[in-house]
Chain A
Amino acid sequence: MSRFFSNKRLILLMLGVILLVALISYTLRDRDNVSFPEQVIKDTVGAGQSLFSGPAHFVTGIFDNVDSLLNTYKENQHLKARLDEFASVQAEVTDLRSENEQLKEIVGKEADLRDYNPIQATVIARNPDQWEEKVILNKGESDGVKENMAVMTAQGLIGKVTLVTKSHSTVELISTQNPNYRVSAMVIGGEEGVFGLIEGYDAKRRELMLKRIDAQIELEVGQQVVSSGLGGIFPKGLVIGEITEITIDEFGLTQLAYVKPSSDFTLLNHVMIADRVTPEVEGEDSEAALEEEGS
């Protein structure tokens, strides 16, 4: 035992351990800003990471192409079947769009929660230990990315920006188990929109939980869930998923719906960051909605 403590190196080691544990507990807290040295490290590592992820995406791209070539026949059949339907839907959409524009002009409404400027970005890395659902994108502050912006793929919403540095940003995926992660959402398909909050992710079912829906409202399985834009940061109308089951929540006061996410969270490659045109509210998405509910 005496030899153990006489060793200078071991004392140094102990000091190092204490320092690191202190650092862990300091950084564990939710921090709003990233300190300057962290920003520098993030951007440098990010630049190096881009060099490696480029070729990797190229290779996975080739596999994807081969895969879609193999499925061409089946897909073609399927598409042909949908084509007739498409023409009539297309006509209807154009009609509705022009009507909507005219109506807006009459009312004099210019800003719309739906409008956003897309920022195209590429996923350069996914947190390899996969305990926290995070990906890193190659666009940052200098491209206009801000904290809390919505991130999506062509299929739908996948997450939001949690940290921004000069030229990179960290995205927390919607499949996180972080209890503070909320997105204000609405169910469409009924007569009018039904509002709720996406709160939490059921890891076993791999589905999102849509909570705080009025118990009076009848929902149906298969209805689509989109972002409502009322949270103050996300634009309106980003597809989130489809309802698979409806139950009563743990307090028995409101309904809870399980929502199957429309986008796939594996093999993310190209994503879009939505920069809302309507001025954003400070803070997290859904904070504003919560306050509204409370008042």
Chain B
Amino acid sequence: MIRFILPLIALVLFFLEPVFGLFSPLQLDGVYYYIVPRFLLMFLIFVTVYYDTRHAMYYGLFFGLLYDVFFIDIIGLYAFLYPMICLITGYVVKSVHRNLLVATILTLVLTALFEFVLYLFFSVISVISMPVDVFLTTRLLPTMIANSLFLVMLGWVFKSLIVARLLERENSKA
């Protein structure tokens, strides 16, 4: 049963993202703050850190493709970026010590990078015209705060589940 736990979590997170997306934007003092849930991406990075890069990239490609077709109708954007982030994680993780703190910080940095790349992409194809400072204050900052809260709460759950799956895989090999 635990064999399917990783794709299952990824699927649930994929469906949860748009549900949380319904609550955004938040209005405080007449300023709108956009919060973009990035649960799936953070989970994929955790899978890369604790499990292996190849699986994470497959999941990233699959869910990225679903995301592209269902939400943004530009096929290939997320399907490209999700595996790319996993690949970067895979390279970084080789040279750092794997513990929960490092994984959390790495995840947050890469999520911010992901957001920024998307911002650049949509600016280039001129879907949006938003100055960088507005992007930083009304989008990136609230998004990062909300996502780091989520990660602090659920990061260790991800870790223990992935490690449990890893142990099981190694046992079945032996």
Contacts and interface: CB of A to CB of B under 8 A. Distances in A.
A131 B24 CA distance: 12
B174 interface: no
Given A23-B75, A129-B36, A45 B21 contact: no
A68 interface: no
Interface string A16-43: 0100111110111001000000100110
A27 B76 contact: yes
Interface in A137-172: 163, 170
Contact of A163 (B22, B73, B127): B73
Contacts of B20: 128
A237 B159 CA distance: 55
Interface string B22-43: 1111010000101011000000
B77 interface: yes
Given A20-B80, A24-B80, A128 B17 contact: yes
A189 to B, nearest CB: 27
Given A126-B22, A177-B127, A267-B23, A21 B66 contact: no
A39 B165 CA distance: 34
Nearest to B18: A125
Interface stretch (A46-54, A90-98, A279-287): A46-54
A76 interface: no
Interface in A247-295: 266-268
Interface of A: 13, 17, 20-24, 26-28, 31, 38, 41-42, 45-46, 48-49, 51-53, 56, 60, 123-132, 134, 136, 163, 170, 177-178, 203, 206, 266-268
Given A56-B22, A131-B122, 19 more contacts: A23-B79, A24-B75, A45-B69, A46-B70, A49-B15, A52-B19, A53-B22, A123-B22, A125-B18, A125-B70, A126-B24, A128-B37, A128-B71, A131-B72, A136-B18, A177-B128, A203-B130, A206-B32, A267-B22
